[in-house]
Structure 1
């Protein structure tokens, strides 16, 4: 064989060149596939027949989410501050507001997001996968310890936020009930809505008007937490002793299914991944059922069941490996498409603009900064990593489950989702309850 001739099994030069093009990625999406998918979606929109099913939305959300994320990751000076998560969430929100996204596409994404429970499939896979992949020996202590920075942060942030808002002329009652409490109430569905329903009952004002009044604080509080989580992630690169890079406390190691001598590199089969996903969704449905029957918070019930399974060794090592593989897949491939969907369907840009006055904006930023700063300072007392504890504490000021996803993505710590849910769900429920008690005692604010 001549020395310059190709090996018998080597591809033709044209095929090799094309494969290099196919391996160019926008996030996880091959560039030629992104171009073709965008063209096909545009054709459906042109025909006025954009479906709202999972097939269309896999393509549209993947392209939109990863394009936004890639812009954020490649922006000099800001790429390490969570800009990818911010753009994936808020750029599509602006595009909807400016009528730069076709109406048929917006309807398709909104209908899919509202009807598919896409968000809770993601949260179920992330929570169950991260818990079953967590070190069992420190799991329970981590859940107990995180309440210390969370409680301290909530108390100090409330006091400082109210003091700043009052000093800036907003008034103590307005600052607490319309700005500070909504920030830490647990988001929109679990926080702002029940909070304003209670306000309406006690004050006899229209709930819709009250909701519109508090929503900007919820959304801008979440945006502030996303920005600060990105800053903390960058700080962790500069001062590695302050962070566990997604581990909440020193001494955490991978648990037996991933690091034991018996199965150091045990493969994960497609069957195990599928079985673990069905298990995760079943735990979510159990939580949803308890919420229907007894009004218990469904995600917290799901979280408690996953912890019980881990602590009691209920799931086999094969199922734990499958659950952890689901966590890795969803955190890598689904996060940015989900954030894009949230931006289109659940983040009204005009509501963000409603809080852009200096006193309200300053109060929001100071409240979130104090919440996270206190969590950072207190973490050392209970032997937690300050940066990771502060990012979890930040989720108390997030926009519910959607805020948790964005904050942890900006902080590059998706494995902290179980603790984030504690901050959001339990912390938010406590804040709503105490706020409504105070509102009632003051005769409707």
Structure 2
């Protein structure tokens, strides 16, 4: 405990902050707006994150901190432990205050612009077809499985398959729920409550499957590259790191400005397409496309790309637990989550995991990848809970050197799923 840090703070300092927040809640004097919301979400979220990361079994098989934050905060609301004033303030901050959009803008802009263009271009030719194979087989299997259990083909794809392969919670399930809500004219939190169980259970199954694939690779050496993805040629140059960049306070300002302007640009393009062609495509999708085009065409100087990546890293490092608290309180109905869990639901989630493994193995082999490594990166890293899921999956598979490819799956693969969800919801709902 002596060396344990929470939010980068020593235990006594952190406990002092926690006591102040708890007293403010008990006395019902916690400020409204972003001050009260940030105080509660950051401080309590950090505690739940520590509990999840330190709890055996949960930290190994169920995603650790993120799962505990989401469902722990949802439980505070479900069991009436959290005062109504705090719940309402968090709801307002997440939705009306736009904290969710602010976080996602930083994530999309920084993650894409911060990637190595060399890695992006060299891996795309072989890697993206492998991702497509994983997604196609997974969605087909869960769609057919859904028919057996009484769902429509697209319903099981939309509420189980797509959120699992969508890139996690903050960059996957949440924007996907917004996309569905916009097209279906229903509250986003109602949809997210149906997506969260699939993401959580899919993440847990992906981690377990990674460990099993590692064992398969040891028993069948011909299927494994022991951490090397390509069967033909060397891919070590794809792991080259960017030049060292030490951000200044001004760089954070640049990153904020570029991120929010890209978000505005996505809204403008979305309005233009809806006005001109009647296509109601979510602004997140247009933002992703515009940032990817800017990256591919070198429209921004490298220093601005690095500024955006630095701002994203700051946001992800300091506010992810707060965001997950907001997701648990404002977007997760624990009662609906409990009602969703059933044997048939577990089977359908398992079909998605089996599907990404089979699809990525087959297509990966066809394009020159080792099947085990293809299944872990283009398959399971599409089906886990984003960045934290990548670490858990690669740790279970003993292949941390594949992190660059895992990040492609979580970042650009997840972005592709948002685009796919936008198109499919227009076609089937």
What's the TM-score, normalizing by structure 2? 0.75
Which residue pairs with 2:21 in the alignment? 41
**2:397 maps to 1:418:** no
Map residues 1-400 of structure 1 onto 2, 5 A cutoff.
25-81=5-61, 82-140=63-121, 142=123, 145=126, 147-167=128-148, 170-171=149-150, 174-185=151-162, 187=173, 189-190=177-178, 192-193=180-181, 217-231=194-208, 241-242=226-227, 251-254=237-240, 258-259=242-243, 265-294=244-273, 295-371=280-356, 373-375=358-360, 377-382=362-367, 385-386=373-374, 387-394=376-383
Q: Which stretch of the first structure deviates more once superposed, 229-238 or 294-303?
A: 229-238
- Tell me the matched-pair count: 382
Question: Distance between the aligned counterparts of 2:302 and 2:135, measured in 1?
Answer: 38
How far residue 287 of structure 1 moved from its aligned partner, in angstroms, is 0.9
Question: Distance between the aligned counterparts of 1:251 and 1:280, measured in 2?
Answer: 29
How far residue 391 of structure 1 moved from its aligned partner, in angstroms, is 4.1
Map residues 421-432 of structure 1 onto 2, 5 A cutoff.
421-432=414-425
How far residue 350 of structure 1 moved from its aligned partner, in angstroms, is 0.9
How far residue 97 of structure 1 moved from its aligned partner, in angstroms, is 0.9
Asked whether the 8 Å contact 2:194–2:340 carries over to 1, the reply is yes
CA gap of 1:79–1:46, structure 2 versus 1, over 3 A, is closer
How far residue 87 of structure 1 moved from its aligned partner, in angstroms, is 0.9
State the superposition RMSD in angstroms. 3.5
Q: 3-state SS of the aligned residue for 1:164?
A: helix
Q: 3-state SS of the aligned residue for 2:90?
A: helix
Asked whether the 8 Å contact 1:132–1:323 carries over to 2, the reply is yes
Asked whether the 8 Å contact 1:113–1:345 carries over to 2, the reply is yes
Which one has a bigger Cα radius of gyration? 1
Question: Distance between the aligned counterparts of 1:330 and 1:376, measured in 2?
Answer: 35
Question: Distance between the aligned counterparts of 1:128 and 1:237, measured in 2?
Answer: 34
Which residue pairs with 1:9 in the alignment? none
How far residue 112 of structure 1 moved from its aligned partner, in angstroms, is 1.0
Q: 3-state SS of the aligned residue for 2:238?
A: coil
Question: Distance between the aligned counterparts of 1:33 and 1:190, measured in 2?
Answer: 38
How far residue 355 of structure 1 moved from its aligned partner, in angstroms, is 1.7
Name structure 2 gaps, 5 residues minimum.
Answer: 164-172, 218-224, 230-234, 274-279, 395-402
Asked whether the 8 Å contact 1:229–1:391 carries over to 2, the reply is yes
CA gap of 1:107–1:323, structure 2 versus 1, over 3 A, is same
What's the TM-score, normalizing by structure 1? 0.73
CA gap of 1:195–1:284, structure 2 versus 1, over 3 A, is closer
Asked whether the 8 Å contact 1:217–1:364 carries over to 2, the reply is no
Name structure 1 gaps, 5 residues minimum.
Answer: 1-19, 198-206, 260-264, 396-402, 437-445
Question: Distance between the aligned counterparts of 2:29 and 2:46, measured in 1?
Answer: 24
